[in-house]
Structure 1
Amino acid sequence: MNSLTSVVCDGPEVGYQFPPSYRFYSPAGGIEASGCFMAITTPAEASGPNLERDVLQAFAKAQAAGLAIWSMMGTVQVMSGEPCVRLAQTLEGYRHWVLDEQGAETEEGELCIEGRSLADGYWQRDDLTEQAFVSWQGRRLYRTGDRVRRVAEDAFQYLGRRDDQIKLRGFRIELGEIEAALRSIDGVQDAAVRLLGEGEEASLVGYVELREDGPGRMQIRRMLQRNLPHYMIPGRIVRLTTLPKTASGKIDRKRLPEPV
């Protein structure tokens, strides 16, 4: 990765695109922005530990340097006072829709893409093609699996993956929202949340990877209570030296230990 960074920064090109796992192989463990390049995440992979924080910092540096930032969906803007990156101004040839579970247009739901460049489907995977490519009001759409909120005309805020939404005692909960709240706590390096148990025994468990001066369990819970409703506060907080990772650097949720 040292050699890759050298090639990127020393070369004449002005833009590069990397998946989120790039940060795990970067010597500094983060994303860089300079006059020569900007490392941008792609929608094909979920974001990794503290990636949102790194991206916001990199975007701010790039904008200060007068660089334009784009995703495959549209221009990316860091909105003042918002803890998120807003996607807006859809690229020519694309259109985006937000649909609920019944397929009706809504303000908050699953992001679906319409465009001339949509693939015919997954290679030799009719089951996946049937799930992801749908016909809607005479249009052919691709279901991204991403949950978004429409915040303005042709502007969206990312909320998390559809697969990360669970239901606990009648409440719909985005696990990614709890994880983001945990990662925002000073001293928390990384975090994961899972639902354990069934029925009345079901409960949320939060796993945190702390820095040396990281907060204690009660302190973490108090900080979460400032920003989350009571039903989204994990019943247990498990502190780990490191969260288990896959070979690509993602959290390996199957290896998260049972709380003792």
Structure 2
Amino acid sequence: MVALRLDDLGAKYGARNGSGLAVEGVATPELAGGELTAVIGPNAAGKSTLFKRIAGLLSGPGMVHLDGAGSAPQDAIRYMPQDTSANAVLTVYESILLAAKQGGGWRVRDHELTAIDHLLTSLQITDIAFRNLGELSGGQRQLVSIAQALVRDPEVLLMDEPTSALDLYRQVEVLSYMRGLARQKNMLVLIALHDLNHALRYCESTLVIAGGRLVAAGPSREVITADLMRDIYRVEARIETCSRGEAHIIIDRSAA
């Protein structure tokens, strides 16, 4: 099973605090395949920069340790950026096929077409398969980006706010699908989220990034606490557990 660990990781992405590092000193426990790990934190905390550093798109100090992968890191790790812009003249199907062929030959094989058809069905976007990307809504483009990221069967997937343009129903559908897929394929999924209730419900573990540093890591229910809400997000809140055992964040509006 694949496992990822970050050792004193930093990323250079313009000047920050005079050090030239936007992210620095990130050291995590081992993150195992088969589950979703939430990456949370305020805006501009460094989540996207951290993802780009793990994916090898940015340079910096420290090490990304990847164990148990069946291929080299550049093939095992896939990054889905928050920006879903793409070539507007391609159809949805063509864009996913192009993603499948990146880094390989151009001969299209039956198993690749089968994989694309499966993704279109699983993400419920079969009806837009032959529409141009430029005709799609932001939420539809986001679903296509998920298909593009999954089509090459990654072992580690970095998803930067993949549900930000989706309505609530589709957010729940996508997160449920990703959790099931991670378990089925023993894939490790790191997913940047703003909705902490989603992190509590769908992610077994959580990393908290603030000011370019890792400030907390561990099981989601142990990390996402009233103290975290107060210290990192500057809001008063409490965590309640419903009769089904699910945890929910309740914001204290009177303290606002």
Task: Report the TM-score when normalising by structure 1.
Answer: 0.30
Task: Report the TM-score when normalising by structure 2.
Answer: 0.31
Of Structure 1 and Structure 2, the greater strand share is in: 1
Relative CO higher for 1 or 2, CA cutoff 8 Å, sep ≥ 6? 2
Larger Rg: 1
